[in-house]
Structure 1
Amino acid sequence: MAHLLHVDASFAREGSTSRALGAVFAEAWQAAHPGGTLGYRDLALTPPPHLDWETVSAGFLPSDQHSPTQTEAVKRREELVAELEAADEYLFTLPMYNFSVPSTFKAWVDQIIIVGRTLRQPPEPSALTGSRVTVLATQGGSYAAGTPKEGWDHQLPYVAHILESLGATDVELIRVEMTLAPVNPALAEFIDLNTRSRSAGEAALRARAAA
């Protein structure tokens, strides 16, 4: 039975492009996979703790030697890793904050990467080997070739490298740009660009979900 894990990272509860388009994908996926399981992790509602020494050092000790703090850290980490391992398809909806991913997503990545378990050296499979992964990246501006901030996108390249390290090969990266144009008068000339980008992104998400 198909099992999708949707990880949502926007801190905006209202007016979030990434949340709205993530819901479009989820609805289309459920229609294409009746009876499938849709798991959902809202990183704004339940932000993962940043990786710390208590968590890492616990991996060097048998569980019966863990301190109470280490035991609790391992429990929190195991919840995230088990959720990842239970799914066979993934959707990550990520706004760009300060030219990169939200810190909550980086914290989530640090928690779920465990060398020898979710990340192994080929030909051994890693956590996302053989899985379909869809990434929706929303960006307030544009970082395309020829724009003033070309090369400032540290969002999609980072995510692509993380997914590759976890063994993912069936990956589709969907970008929606100029999301601030409708709300920032200084960017009003780019509203049409945002409209086209959002429409194209929504169509790509629907197609990917139904495939």
Structure 2
Amino acid sequence: MATLLHIDSALFPEGSASREITAAFVRVWREQHPDGQIVHRDLAAAPLPHLDATAAIEGAGNALRAELAAELAAADAVLIGAPMYNFTIASTLKAWLDQVIIVGHNTGPDSPLAGAPITVVASRGGSYAPGTPRAEAEFVLNYLKTLLTTMFGAEVDFIVPELTLAHSKAEMAELIPLADASRTRAFAEAEEKAKALAARLAV
């Protein structure tokens, strides 16, 4: 029985591109694993405290950090909704990462997360793809890939719905076709990746 840890960090419960895509991923995952377990943490609805000096010193001896680390270690796969805010991830997601990453406990070559598949839905209002004017301001993908592979040795994959503000910003109206194409592609990738991951873990 496979377990999926699903993390959402979008601020708004409705109209969020990352939430829509993670929900699609979860729906397909559930179809493939009807008897499986899905653990969902909504960091906007129930934000975690930022890491303080006491919790940092206590490490795995801190009850909350131990709980989060155990939850992560028990997951066969992880799904993270990580929309871009001010060129980076939500502070609630950063708080979760700071709490759950415990050096000497779940990091390094012997990490229980080594090789674990982590799928990140990194939505953004504009485009930060290579060759675009804001490519150098793309800090979400670079940060999360570096962090999760370096600390955990995890296998990180991304789904990137772009131009999500095109329908609501008059100055982006000409980009609506590209936004719609990106959205369609993201949903297709969510379905494909969920099915592939489910099949892989069923072996």
TM-score (norm 2): 0.92
Q: Deviations over 1:45-70 (max 9, x none)?
A: 1111111101122249xx6xxxxxxx
Amino acid at match of 2:4: L
Which of 6-15 and 78-87 deviates more? 78-87
Matched, 1:116 2:104: yes
Q: What aligned pairs does 1:200-211 form with structure 2 within 5 A after superposition?
A: 200-211=185-196
Identify the residue that residue 181 of structure 1 maps to in structure 2. 166
Q: Deviations over 1:142-201 (max 9, x none)?
A: 1122322121011111010111021113x2211110000011111111111110001111
Amino acid at match of 2:53: W
Matched, 1:38 2:24: no
Q: What aligned pairs does 1:115-134 form with structure 2 within 5 A after superposition?
A: 115-120=103-108, 122=109, 124=110, 126-134=111-119
Considering only CA atoms, is the larger Rg found in Structure 1 or Structure 2?
1
Q: Is the 8 A contact 1:128 1:163 kept in 2?
A: no
Q: Is the 8 A contact 1:29 1:210 kept in 2?
A: yes
Amino acid at match of 1:130: G
- How many residues get paired? 195
Q: Is the 8 A contact 2:7 2:42 kept in 1?
A: yes
Identify the residue that residue 13 of structure 1 maps to in structure 2. 13
Which of 50-59 and 196-205 deviates more? 50-59
- Give 5+ residue unaligned stretches, structure 2: 197-203
What percent of counterpart residues are identical? Answer: 45
Q: Is the 8 A contact 1:95 1:137 kept in 2?
A: yes
Amino acid at match of 1:151: E
Matched, 1:138 2:123: yes
Amino acid at match of 1:168: A
Identify the residue that residue 69 of structure 1 maps to in structure 2. none
Question: Per the alignment, in what secondary structure is the counterpart of residue 50 of structure 1?
Answer: coil
Identify the residue that residue 168 of structure 1 maps to in structure 2. 154
In 1, distance between residues paired with 2:58 and 2:131? 48
Q: Is the 8 A contact 2:3 2:37 kept in 1?
A: yes
1:9: how far off?
Answer: 0.5
Identify the residue that residue 72 of structure 2 maps to in structure 1. 84
1:78: how far off?
Answer: 2.0
Amino acid at match of 2:185: A
Q: What aligned pairs does 1:95-114 form with structure 2 within 5 A after superposition?
A: 95-114=83-102
RMSD: 1.4
Identify the residue that residue 199 of structure 2 maps to in structure 1. none
Q: Is the 8 A contact 1:96 1:137 kept in 2?
A: yes
